Amino acid sequence: MQPQGHVQVVSNLIDFNLNPQMGLDCPRWQWVRGKQFVIEESFDQNIAGELMQKGHDISVVADNSTFGRGQIILKMDTGAYAAGTESRTDGNIALY
C-alpha cells in the first residue's frame, strides 16, 4: 500500500491543489490484483458504482488502518510552512 498511498497523496497535492491536511484526509483505494480494489467507507460511492459497472471488483473495508499513514510538512513559496498529519492514526506535526 505504501507506494499506492504516496501516489494518491501526491496527486491530491499537485493535481487537486489540496493542502497537506486535506491531501492526507482524502478517501483512499488500494489495488489488490487484476480488477480487484478495496476502498475506504468514505470513498465516493458514485465513483465506486461507475468502476463496478466497468467490471471492477470493489470491496468496502471498514478498517481504514490498512490504507497507510503519513505526515507532511511543505515549505511554501512564501517561506511559510504547511503541515498535515494522518487522520487514520494518532500523530502530530511539530515544526522548529
What predicted TM-score, i.e. pTM, was given to this entire model?
Answer: 0.85
Q: For the segment 24-36, what is each residue's pLDDT rounded down to a tens digit?
A: 999 999 999 999 9
> How high is the pLDDT of residue 81?
92
Distance between CA atoms of residues 67 and 43, nearest Å: 12
Mean pLDDT calculated for residue range 10-30: 96
Q: For the segment 24-75, what is each residue's pLDDT rounded down to a tens digit?
A: 999 999 999 999 999 999 999 999 999 999 999 999 998 888 888 889 999 9
The number of distinct structural domains making up the chain is 1
Domain that holds residue 75: 2-85
Nearest to 87 by CA among 66, 76, 71: 71
Q: Across the strands, what pairs with 82? A: 74
CATH code of residue 23 = 3.60.20.40
> Which three cell numbers, joined as nine digits, stand for 12?
491530491
Nearest to 31 by CA among 65, 63, 58: 58
